Chain A
Amino acid sequence: MRKPNTTDHNSTDLEMQNEPMITAPKGVTLADLKPGECGTIIRLLGNNQGRLRLLEMGLTPGTHVKVVRAAAFGGPLDIEVRAYKLSLRREEAASVWLGIADM
């Protein structure tokens, strides 16, 4: 059975499993995730300053991200990355490609 995704940071504590951790299948973007779902970043597509900002804010390949909630009517996403919360529009999230971590 699948184990919850781990990264360098979540080393020991497997106690906190109250919420369902669904690993996103390959070929999915951050915008496709539903609240509560998470994944590991593979790469960021696009060729602009927006992508650069996302990378600098910590959304780098290999980083674990989780969607906490989504605003109504297709509004922004509230995500969790590197132990802080970030809000971004779905168009911005669509450039973040996720996959199954292989570490």
Chain B
Amino acid sequence: MITPLAITGSTAASEKSTKNLTVALVGNPNSGKTTLFNALTGMRQKVGNYAGVTVEKKEGRVHLPGGGNARLLDLPGLYSLTPHSPDEQIAREILMGIQPDTPKPDVILNVVDASNLERNLYMTSQLLDLGVPIVIALTMTDSSLKEGVLVCPGVLENAIGVPVRSVVASRKQGLDELLLAVEYAAVAPAADAAWKVPDQIVQQIDALQHALEEEHHLEPRTAFSEAVSLLMQESEHIPMHHLPESVKSLVRTTQEHLAAEDIDFATTAIDARYRWIAHITEGVNQPTNRQRVHPLSTNERVDRVVMHPFWGYVIFFAIMTVMFQSIFSWVQGPMDWMKNGMDYLGGVLVRHMPAGDLRALLKDGVLGGVGNTLVFLPQILLLFFFVSLLEDTGYMSRAAFLMDKLMSKVGLHGKAFIPLLSSFACAIPGIMATRTIGDRKARLITILVAPLMSCSARLPVYFLMTGAFIPNKRVLGIGSHTLLTLPGVTFIAMYFMGMVAAFLIAWLFHRTLLKGVSPTFLMELPPYRVPSLKTAFIQMIERAGLFLKRAGTVIAAVSVVLWALSTYPKHLDMPKDAQLAHSFVGQIGHGIEPVIRPLGFDWKMGIGIVSSFIAREVFVTAMGTVYNVDDPEDSGQVNLRKKLQDDIDPRTGKHVYSDLVAVCLMVYYVLAMQCMSTVAVVRRETNGWKWPLFQVGYMTVLAWMVTFVIYQGGRMLGWG
């Protein structure tokens, strides 16, 4: 089954082997592409972003059997090369060799799922247009065999005209033969375009192709591919700014001409491609529609339960509960270890360095900053481990299917449920998890509202306020058993408010800022598969690494800055609380007092709010310092609460705090964006400062307005 070499091939192959090959890995989502990439590159991979876009750039190194290395670019999972989103656009540019910073691939490694041949071959037909050597890696042959489908690579190879190698990546089978085929393909001529262009559109494609060759200087094959792609889309939607004006107008006039003749270019071209596919698959044993979703097939039996209108939801909530409960209990241990580790290191510094600014900078600033970053790691690792498992099994799409109705009502995608649910623990892994949402707008809306879901960092604030100001009265009970107390109701109200706010704002964004074409939900429901622990592990490490590199540096840096702001200017003669009040943070706290007075807050709370920018729970520590309480988190909380309750405003002679003020403070914390780490992550995920800054802005305004209404309204009604 070795592809015959051209006569000059052998020497050319050895010449190429000393040079680095660039290989692009392209294939459908769920086709086993990631497993193959991991099997080929191991941990020798790195992830980043393509300049200026939110598309992830993933590449790795493969050692080739013939000697030498190949640079393997894992392009995003795609169903087609037609530019529906930045993912396809970037992939097209790379494959056509017009993406800056990325060399044109020498070989395209096309992953084709044997259990889904027809749809997978659609992109194959598009790839063949390009004139780049292609090797097909046929995956899922074992699972398709179980369904009674035998796909013979040799038959496919003869039919399509490019090397086809069967691989079982999870068991590392067939990899060497695959790589050998890639090496040979690099020096062999590329195959011809596959599909037959129907007569009614031949001339239009030809004309545009020539224009692209002459005036845009594309190579003939690339020009052909681009011509077809341009004519398929509505010209208003295509980003054509990089094209010369003559080409642009030719595209428009051609489309008008086609419309006038009542020729549907898209359907004609796509249909022609599928005709070619039908011809290919004729010789291959194919599952019939009925065989595939036969009522007795295992897949369908599982789906009947998992997607059941009642039991489906029960199972969904059960799985979510298990998942989040596990994450919650498993992060405690590592977080304690890390805290102990940081304390230990802090102790080392204290012992070995003389007291002074440098030591304080290292201990509280830098070490504190590192600690603030690392504290998120256990959650990120665990969440992505679970997310990867769920995706791999195929369950994720079923869950999205169940959740979509609810999500779509506010312009979100069914897949937004995991990011939003995990944001109840911490928005950071939640926001990172939005990458599974293909649609850009839906993803952006999810990112923008995720922090409104009350995260666990807000709990210390809630505890402090309710503990000090909400009387422990019983609200609901049976006999002598208390089911619900007033503090409990307050907590629930805060969580509920966050959720409602998230959905309302999402709906608002959907209608105003980010409106336009309604996001499509189109989503494949892949067959159930046994998940790969290795893939989950690699995905986990990869996400954590990305977090540390891009967000972690920002978090650590901002931590140091905030530490400096709360330490300087120094007034060593003053007690701690006065020191804080006179530091930059204190001055800012005083400075914003006029703005927060209408909300019922004073400058001390201002300090607390400003300090919370490091992390929301720092509010408690900051208040502890301001009120001169040591260890406000431990038994000192009783002391802190007392101090808050007793605090009198020197100007009015009245209590600073009342239950209304306490509630208002909590409401402010529900709605405001205060976590710099979240800002750092949003910056990374949206690849720019525009959206994180917008998020800070809208949430601050929202928090201020709602708190204002509640405070002033409460006062008018005689509360507080």
Chain B residues close to A by CB (< 8 Å): 79-80, 82, 84, 116-119, 122, 232-234, 237, 266-267, 270-271, 274, 278, 286-295, 300, 303, 307, 309, 397, 400-402, 404-405, 408, 414, 517-518, 520-526
Count residues on chain A whose CB falls below 8 Å from chain B CBs: 48
A64 to B523, CA, bound (A): 18
Chain A 48-75 interface mask (CB, 8 Å, partner B; 1/0): 1111111111101111101011011111
Cβ contact within 8 Å between A71 and B293:
no
Question: Contacts of B122 on A, CB cut-off 8 Å?
Answer: 56, 58
A-B residue pairs in contact (CB < 8 Å), sample of 22:
A13-B288, A16-B291, A48-B517, A56-B270, A58-B122, A60-B267, A61-B271, A66-B293, A71-B405, A76-B405, A80-B292, A82-B118, A84-B116, A84-B525, A86-B524, A87-B404, A87-B521, A87-B522, A87-B523, A89-B404, A91-B518, A92-B521
A43 to B262, CA, bound (A): 14
- A62 (CB) vs chain B CBs: closest residue: B271
Question: Contacts of B292 on A, CB cut-off 8 Å?
Answer: 80, 83-84
Question: Contacts of B287 on A, CB cut-off 8 Å?
Answer: 83
A58 to B525, CA, bound (A): 15
Cβ contact within 8 Å between B524 and A84:
yes
Question: Contacts of A43 on B, CB cut-off 8 Å?
Answer: 267
With an 8 A cutoff between CB atoms, is A8 at the interface?
A: yes
Interface SS of chain A: mixed
Interface centre among A9, A64, A82, A92 (most CB of B within 10 A): A82
Question: Contacts of A47 on B, CB cut-off 8 Å?
Answer: 234
Cβ contact within 8 Å between B521 and A88:
yes
Question: Contacts of A91 on B, CB cut-off 8 Å?
Answer: 518
> In whole Å, how far is A70's beta carbon from the nearest beta carbon of chain B?
9
Cβ contact within 8 Å between A55 and B234:
no
Cβ contact within 8 Å between A9 and B524:
no
> In whole Å, how far is B418's beta carbon from the nearest beta carbon of chain A?
16
Chain A 1-26 interface mask (CB, 8 Å, partner B; 1/0): 00000011110010010110000000
With an 8 A cutoff between CB atoms, is A31 at the interface?
A: no
Cβ contact within 8 Å between B402 and A75:
yes
- A8 (CB) vs chain B CBs: closest residue: B278
Cβ contact within 8 Å between B80 and A9:
no
Given contacts A47-B234, A68-B293, A76-B404, contact A54 B522 (CB under 8 A): yes
Question: Contacts of A60 on B, CB cut-off 8 Å?
Answer: 267, 270-271, 274
> In whole Å, how far is B507's beta carbon from the nearest beta carbon of chain A?
17
- B294 (CB) vs chain A CBs: closest residue: A16
Question: Contacts of A89 on B, CB cut-off 8 Å?
Answer: 404, 408, 520-521
Cβ contact within 8 Å between A56 and B82:
yes
Cβ contact within 8 Å between B517 and A71:
no
Cβ contact within 8 Å between B525 and A92:
no
A16 to B290, CA, bound (A): 7
Question: Contacts of A7 on B, CB cut-off 8 Å?
Answer: 289
- A52 (CB) vs chain B CBs: closest residue: B266
Cβ contact within 8 Å between B520 and A50:
yes
Of the candidates B518, B521, B524, B526, which one forms a contact with A76 in the assembled complex, judged by CB atoms under 8 Å apart? B521
With an 8 A cutoff between CB atoms, is A32 at the interface?
A: no
Cβ contact within 8 Å between B288 and A71:
no
With an 8 A cutoff between CB atoms, is A30 at the interface?
A: no
- B394 (CB) vs chain A CBs: closest residue: A85
Of the candidates A16, A54, A85, which one forms a contact with B524 in the assembled complex, judged by CB atoms under 8 Å apart? A85
Of the candidates B289, B293, B309, B414, which one forms a contact with A9 in the assembled complex, judged by CB atoms under 8 Å apart? B289
> In whole Å, how far is B333's beta carbon from the nearest beta carbon of chain A?
38
Given contacts A83-B289, A89-B404, contact A50 B414 (CB under 8 A): no
Given contacts A48-B234, A71-B401, A83-B116, contact A57 B79 (CB under 8 A): yes
Cβ contact within 8 Å between B404 and A61:
no
With an 8 A cutoff between CB atoms, is A44 at the interface?
A: yes
List 8 A-B pairs, minimum CB-CB distance, nearest first: A75-B405, A16-B290, A85-B525, A72-B309, A56-B80, A89-B521, A82-B118, A55-B270
A53 to B232, CA, bound (A): 11
A50 to B271, CA, bound (A): 17
A97 to B234, CA, bound (A): 21
Question: Contacts of A92 on B, CB cut-off 8 Å?
Answer: 520-522
Question: Contacts of B286 on A, CB cut-off 8 Å?
Answer: 9, 83
A51 to B234, CA, bound (A): 11
Cβ contact within 8 Å between A58 and B274:
yes
Of the candidates B84, B522, B525, B526, which one forms a contact with A78 in the assembled complex, judged by CB atoms under 8 Å apart? B525
Cβ contact within 8 Å between B401 and A10:
no
Of the candidates A13, A61, A74, A80, which one forms a contact with B267 in the assembled complex, judged by CB atoms under 8 Å apart? A61
Cβ contact within 8 Å between B267 and A49:
no
> In whole Å, how far is B36's beta carbon from the nearest beta carbon of chain A?
20
A73 to B414, CA, bound (A): 14
Cβ contact within 8 Å between A88 and B522:
yes
17 more A-B contacts (CB under 8 A) besides A49-B84, A78-B525? A16-B288, A48-B234, A48-B517, A52-B82, A53-B520, A53-B522, A68-B303, A71-B307, A76-B401, A76-B404, A82-B118, A82-B119, A84-B526, A86-B523, A87-B404, A87-B522, A87-B525
Cβ contact within 8 Å between B84 and A83:
no
Question: Contacts of B307 on A, CB cut-off 8 Å?
Answer: 69, 71, 78
Cβ contact within 8 Å between B517 and A72:
no
A101 to B309, CA, bound (A): 32
Question: Contacts of B293 on A, CB cut-off 8 Å?
Answer: 66, 68, 80, 85
- B414 (CB) vs chain A CBs: closest residue: A76
Question: Contacts of A8 on B, CB cut-off 8 Å?
Answer: 278
Question: Contacts of B84 on A, CB cut-off 8 Å?
Answer: 49, 52-53
A59 to B695, CA, bound (A): 39
Cβ contact within 8 Å between B270 and A71:
no
Question: Contacts of B405 on A, CB cut-off 8 Å?
Answer: 71-76
A69 to B554, CA, bound (A): 47
- B232 (CB) vs chain A CBs: closest residue: A52
Cβ contact within 8 Å between B525 and A86:
yes
Given contacts A44-B267, A83-B289, contact A49 B274 (CB under 8 A): no
Question: Contacts of A55 on B, CB cut-off 8 Å?
Answer: 266-267, 270
Question: Contacts of A56 on B, CB cut-off 8 Å?
Answer: 79-80, 82, 122, 270
